[in-house]
Structure 1
Amino acid sequence: MGRRSDHSRAELHALILNAGAGLMAETGLSGFSAREVAKRVGYTIGTIHNVFGNVDGLVMAINTATFALWADALEARLAAAGPDRIAVLVDAYFAFARDNPLRWSAIYEHRIAADAFPPAQGEVRGRLTGIVVREVAAALGHAPDAAVGTLARSLVALVHGHCAFAVSGSWAAMGERDVEGEALARVRESLAAAGG
């Protein structure tokens, strides 16, 4: 019942990836089903395995596409930013999670070995971190180097923790209200301690 000859491999890749991303946005990882993706595109689940290797390969590709979307959104926000680019970074992190909660969560819920990423996907995913490293280096008045990269990744983890608590409702349950403001305050303290 599949339309095996209707699309080239590249077209199938795009078709399945777009349908999978749409399903991920609707259901998150917990409700994600390759069988449902196959149904939406009118092909068999075997076609998905043929194009992506397995369901993990499809989820990895969807999450990589989410990273690309996120990096594009961050660059767009920074292009319109005033002088306080660190505040824009924090705000953009929270905004992306709010606007794409299930796709954002799927990035962190999907467990795979770090060496399982195809190099091209690693480059796409690394673009987001590269933007943060660039902005942290600028805030510190340094060139990007290993120490700045380590600090930037720690700051991402700090903001992510606050954001995860906000998305889950844990922050409000603790009686706190301004989760984004607190995340920004901790980032500013860390940058000040690092000499920024």
Structure 2
Amino acid sequence: MARRFDHSSEEITDMALQWVKHHLQSDLSDSLSLRKVAKGIGYSPGTLINLFGSYGYLLLRVNADTLDELSEQMKAASTNDTVPEQQLNAMALCYLEFAMAHTQRWRLIFELKLATDEDIPDWQQQRIDQLLNQVKGLLTGIKPDASNREIEQTARIMWAGVHGISFLAVEDKLFSPAKLNHSEMVTTLIRNYLTGWLSDTESR
């Protein structure tokens, strides 16, 4: 066990976050516990509670880092193209690839349940909004005359589909006798949805 003042608060915080991320490379989040994290970095559970406020908020900080990484990778993927439709498809494929490569961290974003008296902090909500805003920005470029409500709804519906394919892919629950190409499914979803969305406007 490390002595109480072996590391600064910032160092202990980083140690805890990195330990959880490393653990999730090969193990389920259900196998984590506050005591296990504390033991893994050589500090007491109380030290972690003092730093993060609760075990739930510790995991929420891990989720924040995951969202930051995902957001940056999606942004980078979209810069390889200049056509909004292609940029959107690149971001969707990046989302799928991230889920496949970092499955347990990706799953923790959606599986984490805070205590009833714990609210999602602004810094976490801002990250969630930022991710969706990337999609909304591209949709606005594709259909500049669309209302804010239409863009919001389209972004959420489309990404729900991308997320659904990603979830079924990581869980291996597509229930198909043939090995389906998940990337092709995502690309087909984006292409067909955009085609229907744009043609619906033209037919009015």
Instruction: Please state which band the TM-score falls in when normalised by the shorter chain.
Output: 0.7 to 0.9
Q: Which residue is equivalent to 2:202?
A: none
Cα drift, residue 177 of structure 1: 1.0
Matched, 1:71 2:74: no
Q: Is the 8 A contact 2:78 2:88 kept in 1?
A: no
CA contact (8 A) 1:17 1:61 kept: yes
Q: Distance in 2 between matches of 1:92 and 1:42?
A: 36
The runs of 4+ residues in structure 1 deviating greater than 3 Å are 141-144, 172-176
Q: Distance in 2 between matches of 1:90 and 1:182?
A: 11
Q: Which residue of 1 aligns with 2:157?
A: 154
CA gap of 1:151–1:174, structure 2 versus 1, over 3 A, is farther
Cα-to-partner distance string for 1:47-72 (whole Å, 9 max, x where unaligned): 11111112111111111111011001
* Aligned-partner Cα distance in 2 for 1:5–1:154: 49
Question: For this pair of structures, how many residues does the alignment match?
Answer: 196
Report what 1:127 is aligned to. 130
C-alpha contact (below 8 Å) 1:68/1:125 kept by paired residues: no
Q: Please, which of 177, 180, 187 is the counterpart of residue 190 of structure 2?
A: 187
Structure 2 distance, partners of 1:81, 1:7, is 45
Look up the match of 1:36.
36
Q: 5+ residue gaps in structure 2?
A: 200-204
Instruction: Please list, as runs of the form range in 1=range in 2, the aligned pairs for 1:26-175 lying within 5 A after superposition.
Output: 26-81=26-81, 83=83, 84-112=86-114, 116-142=119-145, 145-173=148-176, 175=178
Cα offsets for 1:96-151 (capped at 9, x unmatched): 111111111111221237x7111112212322111111122222235782321221
Q: Percent identity?
A: 24
Letter in 2 for 1:117: I
CA RMSD of aligned residues (A): 2.3
> What SS does the corresponding residue of 2:174 show, helix, strand or coil?
helix
Q: Give 1:82 shift.
A: 5.2
Tell me the distance in 1 between the aligned counterparts of 2:162 and 2:180: 15
- Structure 1 residue runs of 5 or longer lacking an equivalent are none
Computing the radius of gyration over CA atoms, which structure comes out larger, 1 or 2?
2
Q: Distance in 1 between matches of 2:51 and 2:137?
A: 35
Q: Residues 63 and 105 of structure 2 are in contact (CA less than 8 Å); yes or no, is this contact kept in structure 1?
A: yes
1:190 CA drift (Å) = 2.2
Q: TM-score, normalised by structure 2?
A: 0.84
TM-score (norm. length: structure 1) = 0.87
CA gap 1:38/1:76 in 2 versus in 1, 3 angstroms: same
> How many angstroms apart in 1 are the aligned matches of 2:45 and 2:145?
50
Task: Say if 1:133 and 1:144, in contact at 8 Å, map to a contact too.
Answer: no
Tell which deviates more after alignment, 168-177 or 145-154: 168-177
Contact 1:140 1:191 in 2 (8 A): no
